[in-house]
Amino acid sequence: MKLLYAGKAKSLYELDEGRVLMEFRDDLTAGDGAKRATKAGKGALNAEISAKFMELLRKKGIPTHYLGFEPPNRHVVKRVKIVPLEVIVRNIATGSLVRRYPFKEGTELSPPIVEFCLKSDEYHDPMVNEDIALALGAVSSREELSRMREIALRVNEVLREFLLKKGIILVDFKLEFGYDDEGNLVVADEISPDTCRFWDAETREVMDKDRFRRDMGDVLKYYEEVKRRISEN
Ligand code: 5GP
């Protein structure tokens, strides 16, 4: 199979008829790739967790690139043209938000905050406003940004409610979007403990990639626990 693209944690292979095979690797990175590790089994855990979330979004009528899960660590997805923005939704203030602004750690954000950031390791994914996103050509209209915002908030509602029933607080997460061959805007990439913050609803224990970023240990043990909880009926 032809390798189309190898990112920091996933590789894309060309399949056929506008379909792509997305392989979740065992690589973990943080700090725009400055910190790296490999943890055997991480790719399979993220692939399974992300498949579950993508299937949930599909059930709720939210358009995604996801077509199917090929265990242990692959998704079949639509070929899309990626919008070079990260869309972040925050329900609780933590991470870069409390480093950049005078929010108190752990404060609930109601309504949630949506941020657009440029996908660029070189510039450390800077937050952009509408004018900057347009001037850089990341999007071609303000409507595109409001569509992404709308879908991201809907994804937040769906995932937040689902996770809370599993004893998990959805603190914040990052989405990527793309356009499929028919020109539809769809949720792309992955939704996993690598791209979301999850806290245990009772103990507020960290259950996501912050365990790696902050050297808290037991990274895969918590990814496994997320998978276990969301797989229960
Ligand atoms: P923060 O801006 O606080 O670092 O991150 C906010 C949320 O977006 C977190 O859930 C974090 O995992 C996710 N996020 C932000 N930027 C990136 C990124 O470049 N890669 C990944 N995997 N997640 C990101």
Taking the C-alpha atoms of residue 109 and residue 57, their distance in angstroms, rounded to an integer, is 23
Q: What is the mean pLDDT of residues 209-221?
A: 97
Give yes or no for a contact between 26 and 38, defined as CB atoms under 8 angstroms apart. Answer: yes
pLDDT greater than 90 at residue 33: no
Q: What is the mean pLDDT of residues 74-86?
A: 98
Note every long-range contact of 155-162, with CB atoms under 8 Å and residues 24 or more positions apart, other chains counting.
Answer: 155/57, 155/62, 155/89, 155/187, 155/191, 156/89, 156/91, 156/112, 158/56, 158/57, 158/60, 158/62, 159/53, 159/56, 159/191, 159/196, 160/91, 162/56, 162/230
Could you read off the pLDDT of 170-208 as tens digits, one per residue?
A: 999 999 999 999 999 999 999 999 999 999 999 999 999
Taking the C-alpha atoms of residue 165 and residue 229, their distance in angstroms, rounded to an integer, is 9
For the question of whether the overall pTM of this predicted structure is more than 0.85, the answer is yes
pLDDT for the residue numbered 111? 98
pLDDT band (50, 70, 90) for residue 233? confident
DSSP 25: P
DSSP 206: B
pLDDT for the residue numbered 32? 83
DSSP 104-170: PTT-EEEEEEEEEEE--TTTT--B--HHHHHHTTS-S-HHHHHHHHHHHHHHHHHHHHHHHHTTEEE
pLDDT band (50, 70, 90) for residue 6? very high
pLDDT band (50, 70, 90) for residue 114? very high
Q: What is the mean pLDDT of residues 136-156?
A: 98
Residue 175 CA to ligand 1 center (angstroms) comes to: 9
Looking from the CA of residue 125, the nearest atom of ligand 1 is 19
Residue whose CA lies nearest to ligand 1 atom number 21: 195
Residue 174 CA to ligand 1 center (angstroms) comes to: 6
Mention every residue, 6+ apart, whose C-beta is less than 8 A from residue 113. 89, 90, 97
pLDDT band (50, 70, 90) for residue 9? very high
Measured from CB, residues less than 6 Å from any atom of ligand 1 are: 86, 88, 95-97, 125, 172-174, 194-197, 209
Residue type at 29 in one-letter notation: T
Could you read off the pLDDT of 44-61 as tens digits, one per residue?
A: 999 999 999 999 999 999
Residue 17 CA to ligand 1 center (angstroms) comes to: 32
